[in-house]
Amino acid sequence: MTWKHPSSPVTKKFKVQRSAAKVMATVSWDAKGVILLDILPQGQCINAARYCSTLDRLKEAIRRKRPGLLRRGVVLQHDNANLTQQWLQRYGWEILPHPAHSPDLAPSDFHLFGHLKRHLGGMAFETEDDLISELRNWFGNLDVDFFRVDINSLLSRWQKCIDLHGDYAEK
């Protein structure tokens, strides 16, 4: 209970609109665009086994969309879970080392998700399927230059991190 003066304005009550549940997605992409958009089923979490399953789907998507990558070799920037390491060794994919919790060196963090957040800002979705449909449309409509610019900026970001002796390089 709040004590008010008799002449105090009436407290406004806001109508709360129920939003769709959160959607967790793994986005695998290269300089040419999205290779795999893997949406996690509602109520599940990402663990090493689930991530390896996603990597299996990624390998199949690469085989379909970018078969030359499998011949030249895949370099993957990701987490360092043990089970994941075993999966990568089995398929001979190279691991791009990077420090943990380094959003300035993770392309999805410093480039992709910022644009996605601005795109989705202010939108409301009735269902999870509506949100997933919007995600698929947005990723599908991105120009190849969007991805190329991001991948090409990695070298300068790494150099900046080296020059700063590992300190955070925001821009």
The domains found in the chain, sorted by start residue, are 25-163 (3.30.420.10)
- For residue range 131-153, list pLDDT tens digits in order: 889 999 999 998 888 888 877 77
Between CA 19 and CA 50 the distance in angstroms is 26
User: 55 exposed, middle or buried (CB, 10 Å; 0-12, 13-18, 19+)?
Assistant: buried
Model pTM above 0.85: no
Q: What percent of the chain has pLDDT over 70?
A: 73
**What is the pLDDT, as a whole number, of residue 25?**
85
